[in-house]
């Protein structure tokens, strides 16, 4: 077998990818630079705005939102207040705000891209056949690999962190949107067509409302995957709680690592329960 491979030339995959990356960075450098500067300004502005809010007021606001989102149940509200106060007590408030900003931007971008892609997949079998392998590639490729093009395009900082997070967190929204629309009963779609509904009316009045539960499940996963990229994004300079986890790892500081890690767990539970509560149907 090895003798046979000696006669087979090595396929230059690595060199081809490097050539393509060099081509993009050299020809689209002004575009990437504009995105980097604009994105950095927007995210720093949001973070500064969040930091301006007094921590106690912010904690109470989240508690009130959790209380009403869970139909006036105290469980999540109390957990949110106690958990966020614990993070504030540990001196990680600014890092928390940076993390929230990163997750919000990455999730919103992934949702804005993912929902239309999912709709396109549900309406076009050719598009589904093309996009599915791309989603498989995005989900199976290790998250660390996304840091390489992120740094090549946008340098070091929060913008490449968001870029990597979007790639990593995008597939669930696309897949669940496609699945939700395809699961809408054909009888209801045919009934809407018989009443003369246009394609847009059929999508917005029948398919999307009936697929809402499935789409929201995908959005929930996208938000949590964005949060899971926080530590990995910190390796390329993204601020937030992930940087504290990375610093504790590098210095073997078990206590500091545990505090930063439990802060991420608290934030993940709050995000998860809130997005799930928005998905519950009204009785």
- Where are the domains positioned within the chain? 93-279
Residue 191 has pLDDT above 90, yes or no: no
Query: Would you say residue 97 has pLDDT above 50?
Result: yes
Write down the pLDDT at residue 173: 93
Give pLDDT tens digits for 27-71: 877 888 888 888 888 888 998 999 999 999 999 999 999 888 877
Highest mean pLDDT among 114-123, 156-165, 204-213: 114-123
Res. 8 pLDDT band, cuts 50 70 90? low
More confident residue, 182 or 201: 182
Residue 196 phi, psi (nearest 5): 85, 25
Question: What homologous superfamily is domain 93-279 in, according to CATH?
Answer: MetI-like (1.10.3720.10)
Percent of the chain with pLDDT over 90: 29
Task: Determine if residue 240 is left, alpha or beta; phi over 0 gives left, psi from -120 to 50 gives alpha, anything else beta.
Answer: left
The model carries a pTM of 0.86
- What value does the mean pLDDT take over residues 109-118? 92
Name the nearest CA neighbour of 49 among 94, 89, 81, 84: 94
């Amino acid at each position: 077998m090895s003798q046979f491979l000696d006669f087979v030339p090595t396929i230059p995959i690595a060199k081809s990818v490097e050539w393509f990356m060099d081509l993009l960075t050299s020809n689209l450098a002004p575009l990437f630079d504009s995105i980097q500067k604009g994105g950095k300004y927007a995210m720093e502005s949001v973070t500064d705005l969040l930091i301006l809010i007094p921590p106690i007021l912010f904690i109470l606001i989240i508690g009130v939102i959790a209380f009403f989102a869970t139909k006036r149940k105290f469980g999540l509200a109390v957990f949110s207040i106690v958990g966020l106060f614990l993070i504030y007590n540990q001196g990680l408030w600014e890092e928390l705000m940076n993390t929230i900003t990163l997750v919000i931007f990455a999730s919103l971008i992934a949702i804005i891209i993912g929902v239309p892609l999912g709709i396109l997949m549900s309406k076009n079998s050719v598009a589904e056949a093309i996009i599915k392998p791309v989603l498989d590639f995005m989900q199976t490729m290790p998250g660390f690999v996304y840091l390489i093009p992120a740094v090549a395009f946008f340098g070091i900082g929060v913008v490449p962190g968001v870029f990597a997070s979007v790639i990593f967190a995008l597939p669930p929204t696309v897949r669940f949107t496609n699945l939700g629309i395809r699961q809408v009963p054909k009888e209801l779609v045919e009934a809407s067509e018989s009443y003369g509904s246009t394609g847009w009316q059929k999508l917005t009045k029948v398919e999307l409302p009936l697929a809402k539960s499935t789409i929201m499940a995908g959005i929930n996963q996208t938000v949590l995957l964005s949060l899971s990229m926080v530590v990995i994004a910190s390796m390329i300079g993204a601020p937030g709680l992930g940087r504290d986890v990375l610093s504790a790892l590098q210095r073997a500081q078990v206590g500091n690592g545990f505090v930063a890690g439990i802060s991420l767990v608290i934030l993940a539970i709050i995000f998860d329960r809130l997005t799930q509560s928005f998905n519950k149907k009204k009785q």
